[in-house]
Amino acid sequence: MARSRQKSSQAQLGECHNIWRCPTVTNLTQRDLVEGPGLRMFFGSLRPKSTSFHKHDATQLLLLTDSTKCDVSWKAKRGIAISQEVTRSEILVIPSGIVHSEDWDTASDVLFLYLGDDWLRSMRPEALSEPAILKMDELLACDSLIGSLLATIKSQDHTSPLFWKSQMGALGHCFAARVINSLVLMERNSGDVSCKLSNERMRKVAAYLKSCPGSSVGVLGMATAAGLSPGHFGKLFKATFRKTPERYILDLRLFKAKDMICTGDYNISEVAQMNGFCDQSHLAKQFRRLFHVTPQSLLPNRKK
């Protein structure tokens, strides 16, 4: 254990399904860890924390068990930055190798499950390619036992550590297996290919975005390029990228604002005005959501 802690931080990120190394849960110790074949698990409280972008070499399930919220961002394979809010009524699934970050504003009670690739493959032969946010009510509709297992996990007595770990390991395996099995069932029944943007429509939208100045990009223009009504386009876009067209356009403006700030040629007020933000505070709030830093922190010294 002591030897493992001497590894570089970058190397640790590559193995952070070893939970005591995970940047999200730096207040944990090996005592907090529950292990089993193909699975590692933590259930407990976390302090408020923002993590840098990192990745795991195991698939992560994240479930908030209280009324708090978590902002999660990840880099999709299509090159689009995704940012989503996760609540207690949802389970976040992050496949191994996906670069992501997490942000808690308040202390949270959470359940982490890290699933080894071999174990996951036995449940779902086709590898997960992108993160998914599963609605708890949809999972319960597939398998009502998921709710009972979660309630049992939350009620376990911690006073006998060895008994607690053995119980939690068995419960964690059963809970994870039923969640993944329900995910497979929902995918089979969703007809998701017909409910997402086709590759041809995505190419047309990409061409529109490339040719259109950032300040004039709009949902209507994107929908027109795709040959769809704005309402239908919005539904397909969100199903494809897990964010609305409006949020995507906002994120485009934020990336442009970031580039302008880094040049040092503009102050924050000028950047906010030129990119359609009502004031500096609006820009700062959205900037921190996406990049987890303030606009001022990126200004060259002469502009701060």
Task: Determine the pLDDT at residue 174.
Answer: 92
CA distance 140 to 20: 31
The conformation of residue 127, written as its DSSP 8-state character, comes to: P
**CA distances for 122 relative to 40, 52, 112, 129, angstroms:** 16, 31, 20, 16
Rounded average pLDDT over 156-185: 81
Give the angle 122-56-113 at the CA atoms, nearest 5°: 60
In the predicted model, what is the mean pLDDT of residues 220-239?
A: 86
Instruction: Tally Cβ neighbours within 10 Å of residue 136.
Output: 17
pLDDT at 161: 66
* pTM of the predicted model as reported, rounded to 2 decimal places: 0.58
Averaged pLDDT, 229-238:
85
* Residue 169 clears pLDDT 70, i.e. is over it: yes
Q: Is the pLDDT of residue 286 over 60?
A: yes
Query: Tens digit of pLDDT for each residue in 28-83?
Result: 444 456 777 788 888 888 887 778 888 888 999 999 888 788 888 887 655 667 77
> Alpha-carbon distance 241 to 251, whole Å?
13
What is the C-alpha radius of gyration for the chain, rounded to an integer number of angstroms?
A: 21
Domains of the chain as residue ranges with CATH = 2-190 (2.60.120.10), 199-303 (1.10.10.60)
Distance CA 232, CA 228 (A): 6
Average pLDDT over residues 245-272: 90
Render pLDDT for 89-113 as a digit per residue (tens, 0 to 9). Answer: 889 999 998 888 888 878 888 889 9
**Residues near 275 by Cβ (< 8 Å), separated by ≥ 6?**
214, 215, 253, 254, 256, 257, 260, 283
Between CA 239 and CA 225 the distance in angstroms is 18
> What are the phi and psi torsion angles at 300 (to 5°)?
-60, 155
If one compares 13 and 83, the residue with the highest pLDDT of the two is: 83
Mean pLDDT score of the chain: 78
**Cross-strand partners of 133:** 92
Among all chains, which residue has been given the structure tokens 């994107």? 222
